[in-house]
Amino acid sequence: MPKSKFELIYKELKQKIEGLDYKYRDFLPSENIMIDMFSCSRNTIRRAVSMLAEDGYVQSLHGKGVRVIYQPVGQNSFTIGGIESFKESAARNNKTPSTKVVQFTEIIADQRIYEKTGFIVGSEVYYIQRVRYLDGKALIFDINLLLKAVVPGLTKEVLEASIYDYLENVLGMQIVTSKRKMTAERATQIDEKYLDLNGYNFLAVISSQTFNSDGIMFEYTQSRHRPDYFCFYDTATRKKSP
């Protein structure tokens, strides 16, 4: 699977920053130096560096250089990254995941569902509820709506394993963009029924719409997390305004 050059450079620089070869407040080698290091053009370097800037790993200082602003993070809560499956996140957070399917039916999207999820009225969708366990504790309650047309042969076994694995490796679908919304909500009776809430009466909720490589929104997910095991990271860069 030959990756593109800028991705390789991006990955290598990222690893060096995470491995503290380049430390917080250090400068990366200048573009001209990196051109020799990686034997590529300036544009390719700049592309890799700008990806690191998007990740909040570095910041470019006009006329001076590119400074590392990455700081290693203390890992006690469950962090949410880019687009990751539950299994991938669990692995990154060094937890053992498991999943129980508690609901698996089909419905037709009506006006109310459209407003909540974005599925066009009349679409046939799977409606799924799952409880996610980390190291044996029921910490996350997932509600999935999946476009039936895009995921025809869905079974309970797939749901207990990983939908993303199935989509990407079996159906060959590529997940590309995910729009997410973060809120905090009171726990419902269903949350209380299925989760180990440990006294909490509220949850951190991520609602997301996922688009495949055809630009079709094929999934709506709501993940309801116990707050003490939840953490969402984000980096923003200021755009010149008015």
List residues binding DNA (CB under 7 A).
Answer: 4-7, 28, 30-33, 39-44, 46-47, 60-66
CA atoms within 13 A on the CB side of 31: 16
Q: Using alpha carbons, list the distances in angstroms from residue 8 to 48, 50, 82, 131.
A: 8, 14, 18, 37
- 82 near its own copies (CB under 8 A): yes
Strand partners, 206: 182, 223
Q: Which of 46, 77, 162, 220 binds its own copies (CB under 8 A)?
A: 77
- In angstroms, the CA 205 to CA 107 distance is 23
Q: Going residue by residue from 197 to 216, which x/- string records binding to its own copies, judged by CB under 8 A?
A: ---xxxxx------x-xxx-
Number of residues that bind its own copies (CB under 8 A): 53
User: Nearest 5 degrees, angle CA 168-CA 170-CA 174?
Assistant: 20
Indicate the residue among 61 and 184 with the shorter CB distance to DNA: 61
Q: How far is the CB of 211 from DNA (least distance, A)?
A: 13
Using only C-alpha atoms, the chain has a radius of gyration, in whole angstroms, of: 21
Judged by the rule CB under 8 A, the positions of this chain that interact with its own copies are: 3, 7, 25, 53-54, 56, 59, 61-62, 67, 69, 71, 74, 77, 82-83, 115, 118, 174-186, 200-204, 211, 213-215, 217, 227, 230-240
